[in-house]
Amino acid sequence: MFGDKWTSEYYDVMEFYYWEPQHLGKIKNPKSRYNNQHKSLEHIQNMEVSLNHMFNVFFRLAPSSFVNNLVNTTCNTTIKDKFSMRGRYDVREFSLVVQPDLLFISKSTSFSIEMKIGAKSSLEQVYKYALLHWLEQQYSGVKRQSILLYIGKGEFQDLWVEKFTNPQEVISAAINSDISKLKLRANKVESIDINWSEVETILSNTAIGYCNYTGFNDLLNKHSDGVSSETEVKLFDGLNSELQKRGLC
């Protein structure tokens, strides 16, 4: 049903916990419309969060050369750094209010990726990524360039209810937006006093890029064509196949 790529193992794990949810301290919901494993797995395959999980596994293993190419191609930068990915548990060490889809840190750059399939983004979400990068800087003591990449369906303007056409419009609108609710939540849960003026400065200097899943898949193919490692080829081929199965490219 899910092929012979590494991504099929994800669904195998999901099926195990479908049959034995007691290992998670849960019981089956007898009223759920996902009343067999096939319906459940089809539902999972259509979820944005499951693709996010696969991207996290992929980027844990992907070489820095691909991350550099991705950020430089999509965000108009010229970075040649070694990136280290920060997972959910790593991020919790310095932020509780912001949980990014993907966060990478190099000696000079804080690079986040926000993935969208059906949902829209918001100005508050943009501000939250600036806050995340500020919080990481306070935790590490290192100032870095802030970069945010959106990966979505369609064009950049399709990310927004407001139909913004370029990143500078988004940044200007976010700076002028009402973030009182975000400030209230963040000031309650974060362990340090937040300097919102510094957060705004990070936001104003953030490089925002965009690519759709077709463009991302093109980058996967180009990288895969240039490598000889069998493991690396399988890694890239697996994510390529998953994007195609989901109809994203």
Name every residue whose Cβ is closer than 8 Å to that of residue 61 and which is 6 or more positions away in sequence. 235
What band does 119 get if pLDDT is binned at 50, 70 and 90? very high
3-state DSSP assignment of residue 111? strand
What is the per-residue DSSP string for 15-44?
A: HHHHH-GGGGT----TT-S--SHHHHHHHH
Alpha helix ranges (H) inside 23-115 = 37-45, 48-61, 64-75, 88-91
**pLDDT greater than 90 at residue 2:** no
What's the rounded mean pLDDT across residues 46-55?
95
Backbone angles phi, psi at 146, to 5 degrees: -100, 125
Question: Judging by beta carbons within 10 Å of its beta carbon (0-12, 13-18, 19+), is residue 20 exposed, middle or buried?
Answer: exposed
Question: Judging by beta carbons within 10 Å of its beta carbon (0-12, 13-18, 19+), is residue 53 exposed, middle or buried?
Answer: middle
**pLDDT greater than 70 at residue 77:** yes
- Are the C-beta atoms of 208 and 13 separated by less than 8 Å? no
**pLDDT greater than 90 at residue 120:** yes
**pLDDT greater than 90 at residue 91:** yes
Kindly report, residue by residue over 148-171, the tens digit of the pLDDT: 999 999 999 999 999 999 999 999
CA distances from 125 to 165, 177, 206, 245 (A): 17, 11, 13, 29
3-state DSSP assignment of residue 113? strand
Kindly report, residue by residue over 180-225, the tens digit of the pLDDT: 999 999 999 999 999 999 999 999 999 999 999 999 999 999 998 8
Name every residue whose Cβ is closer than 8 Å to that of residue 107 and which is 6 or more positions away in sequence. 81, 82, 142, 144
**pLDDT greater than 70 at residue 105:** yes
130's tokens: 């600036």
The mean predicted confidence, pLDDT, of the chain is: 95
Question: Judging by beta carbons within 10 Å of its beta carbon (0-12, 13-18, 19+), is residue 230 exposed, middle or buried?
Answer: exposed
What band does 1 get if pLDDT is binned at 50, 70 and 90? low
pTM given for the model: 0.94
91's tokens: 């991020």
Name every residue whose Cβ is closer than 8 Å to that of residue 156 and which is 6 or more positions away in sequence. 150, 164, 165, 166, 167, 210
Kindly report, residue by residue over 5-42, the tens digit of the pLDDT: 999 999 999 999 999 999 999 888 888 898 899 999 99
What's the rounded mean pLDDT across residues 223-229?
86
What band does 228 get if pLDDT is binned at 50, 70 and 90? confident
Question: Judging by beta carbons within 10 Å of its beta carbon (0-12, 13-18, 19+), is residue 48 exposed, middle or buried?
Answer: middle
